[in-house]
Amino acid sequence: MLRLLFLGSSDFAVPVLKTLAGAGEMVVEAVVTRPDSRAGRGRKPSCTPVALAAAGLGLRVIKPAKPTPENLGNPAVDAMVSAAYGCWLPGALLRSSPLGVVNIHPSLLPEFRGAAPVARTILAGKTVTGVSFMVTDTGWDTGPLLRSVRTRVLPGETAGELSARLALIAAEHVTEVLRDYSQGRLEPVPQAGEGTYAGRISREDARLDWTRSARELERAVRAFNPSPGAWTLFMGKVLKVSRARRVDGSGTPGTFTRCGDRLLAATAEGMLELLEVQPESGRVMDAGSFLRGVREIPGS
């Protein structure tokens, strides 16, 4: 029986946790996740998706501000598994279990190390991505690889959709990777090639730059969906763009045109049709519904 400590926070980690909790040859001794945050108008405490999933599975949950062997209770486990945990792991913790920390990263390492690999993959126009299983070291996603699983980036796929699909791929392979690693059939191999860094996406990063091409902007809309959400200014107010597609046409970059129930924006090369939008303090809606509440557009 392989005894595990699981570290994770976001939705990406939930399918992996559920798979490990249901694996007869493994036991999850405890789940480590980020502390509760305060969200909403009432600033009420909000726990992570992993904390919710762990509670539903009847697992013990630990929420340290900074994880160390001591504040985790010096767990006697064979290995730790991390996925989208979101906290730096000190060297003492990495060395505290015989097999170390097996991290699951949603990119083909060494490409897109860092906090936003899925969004950066789509922004870069990559057609192939995957999930990497690595043994964590003190670097930033630089540890040796156990296995990488490749998959195609589907046409029109958003970051949220791709992340959910990669999470299922990770869950499908995690027990086999841990079994083979623990039994010596899988040896960690140093990452090969030059690494790239996938930095965090800020709200300003998600502002649509109409001096870029429609092809690039269509990728940006997909990459920033669901968070932080691509946006622009429309008639002086923030307008989020959830879905868009590149179409033929031209015009002064940044100007909008109404064509029936279609909303088009001119870019440096081609036009971008805004398919789903969200006005300030409003809900997500299709372009036709949005346009019914707009009197004039030409020159906007």
Q: Are 137 and 102 in contact (CB under 8 A)?
A: no
Over 70: is that where the pLDDT of 41 sits?
A: no
Residues 158 and 176: their CA atoms lie apart, in Å, by 28
Residues 146-171, mean pLDDT to the nearest whole number: 98
- Residue 253: the pLDDT is 96
- Residue 42: the pLDDT is 60
- Residue 236: the pLDDT is 87
Look over the chain and give the mean of its residue pLDDT values, rounded to a whole number. Answer: 95
Residue 70 has a CB neighbour count (10 Å cut-off) of 11
pLDDT tens-digit series, residues 167-215: 999 999 999 999 999 999 999 999 999 999 999 999 999 999 999 999 9
Confidence grade of residue 281 (pLDDT, cut at 50, 70, 90): confident
Confidence grade of residue 125 (pLDDT, cut at 50, 70, 90): very high
- Residue 223: the pLDDT is 98
For the chain, which residues make up each domain, given as ranges?
A: 2-182, 214-291
Over 70: is that where the pLDDT of 300 sits?
A: no
Q: What is the dihedral of CA 49, 206, 243, 127, to 10 degrees?
A: -80
- Residue 273: the pLDDT is 98
- Residue 285: the pLDDT is 97
The CATH homologous superfamily to which domain 214-291 belongs is: Formyl transferase, C-terminal domain (3.10.25.10)
Position of tokens 């060395």? 95
Q: Are 279 and 290 in contact (CB under 8 A)?
A: yes
* Fold topology of 2-182: Rossmann fold (3.40.50)
Residues 159-174, mean pLDDT to the nearest whole number: 98
- List the single range of 139-148, 168-177, 253-262 with lowest mean pLDDT: 253-262
- Residue 293: the pLDDT is 85
Confidence grade of residue 295 (pLDDT, cut at 50, 70, 90): confident
